[in-house]
Structure 1
Amino acid sequence: MAKLGLCLLLLFFFFHIMVSMVEPTIATNSSATNSSTTNFIKASCKVTSYFALCVHSLSSYASTIQQSDQQLTQASLSVSLARARLAAVYVSKMTKTSGIKPREYQAVKDCIANIGDAIYELNNSVQELGHMGKAGAQDFEWHMSNVQTWVSTALTKENTCLDGFAVQGMDGNVKTAIKNRVTIVAQLTSNAVALASRYAARHRACSTTNVP
């Protein structure tokens, strides 16, 4: 009976040692994967005009992005769309600001329309890219052209909103509040434009390399 107890004790310690040896390996592999994805995001964001914003906005999507240019672009478009929707809600509320001037009111109304158009274009881009799958060379070019056109149009609409507050007599709190939010949306969309162009260029280069 004593021998049986001793054997069980030895087995317990042996099992404990084996687990201790395996656990650090699992953690290291997970850490290496996260580090690899983070490096991929940082390397990709170098083509954008707002690098820090790019890295920060995409880091939470790391597990989805992995090393995929398509998922990276999809994430950037989704972030832009989400922020544009939030901005639209905020700008809409500004029409009810107490003491708003007639010129400011019109600029806000125009901005609402432009942000609405930008949301429409960004939503089209997200859906188009999501439907691409493993498209052939010709289909890829057609889909990607649509994505780039729509996201570029969205950026134009966002900048048009900002231009509406650039005239004289528009220096109040309404302008500042809207400009702060829409500027972030425009910067995110600018990054999405750059990442979409990068994805298209890398896909073409890869396709050319694989041609027999």
Structure 2
Amino acid sequence: MTKQYQALFLLFSVPFLFSSELTAAKVSPAGTSAKALSFIQSSCKSTTYQSLCVETLSVYANTINTSPRRIVDTAIAVSLNQALSTKLFLSHLTKSQFRTLADCQPTADVFTTDCTCSVQELQEVVRCTTWTECLFHVNNAEVCAISAESYSVENSCSSPFAGPVKMSVRGRISDAVRKSLHARFAKLHHEINNAKMLFKAFRKN
């Protein structure tokens, strides 16, 4: 059993994620194997967010082909790519974009912590040796993404005690940042959840 899951994630690594192999896997619909696309569409039926699953994995159809191992590897890699991209986005935001008001939480540090957690947990999947251990880290990564997603819609400034000046300041800066972060973390949450569901489906085969 241990060797089975070591083999499962042999393909997946951070270098592979940014390698020419994965980049080259992105192909136009005209150059995509119909059999591979059919396999991806069929596999994505086991996921929660089926449209996103098909959309994000179809561009790697020629690499996935009809391999259950490769579709799981790619789903994890896509999730990690989203987490790293979000972390980079956070690093480019200035502290002032979060410091609109003292009671308008969360702060940049909260988002960064959750994003880093997702990145680290997804990277731990590379080193897992059992199905239970792999699923544990995927679940943790999803929890962190959900936490950040929830923070992005929290609005302590909209309390009944928030005056018009507070709302004006918040609306000028914080709303745009929150909306962008919410979209990014929601996508990360959904991609990780899809990867988890594919992983569970593979386990049953």
- Give TM-score scaled by structure 2 length: 0.70
Alignment RMSD (CA, Å): 2.3
Task: Name the counterpart of 1:38.
Answer: 37
Higher-Rg structure is 1
Task: Name the counterpart of 2:199.
Answer: 196
1:105: Cα distance to partner?
5.9
1:32: Cα distance to partner?
11
1:164: Cα distance to partner?
1.9
The farther-off stretch of 103-112 and 45-54 is: 103-112
Paired residue for 1:159, among 119, 122, 146? 146
1:100: Cα distance to partner?
2.9
Q: Structure 1 pair 82/179, CA: closer, same or farther in 2 (3 Å)?
A: same
Higher relative contact order (CA 8 A, sep 6+): 2
Paired residue for 2:130, among 139, 143, 147? 143
Are residues 1:172 and 2:175 paired? yes
Secondary structure at the aligned position of 2:130 is classed as helix
Percent identity, please: 21
Secondary structure at the aligned position of 2:132 is classed as helix
Unaligned stretches of 5+ residues in structure 1: 1-30, 130-141, 203-212
Unaligned stretches of 5+ residues in structure 2: 1-29, 159-173
Q: Where does structure 1 differ by over 6 angstroms across 4 or more consecutive aligned residues?
A: none
Matches within 5 A, 1:61-210: 61-98=60-97, 100-104=100-104, 106-125=106-125, 127-128=126-127, 143-168=130-155, 169=157, 172-202=175-205
Match for 2:188: what amino acid? V
- Give TM-score scaled by structure 1 length: 0.68
Match for 2:154: what amino acid? V
Match for 2:77: what amino acid? S
Contact 1:95/1:109, CA 8 A, preserved across alignment:
no
Equivalenced residue count is: 159
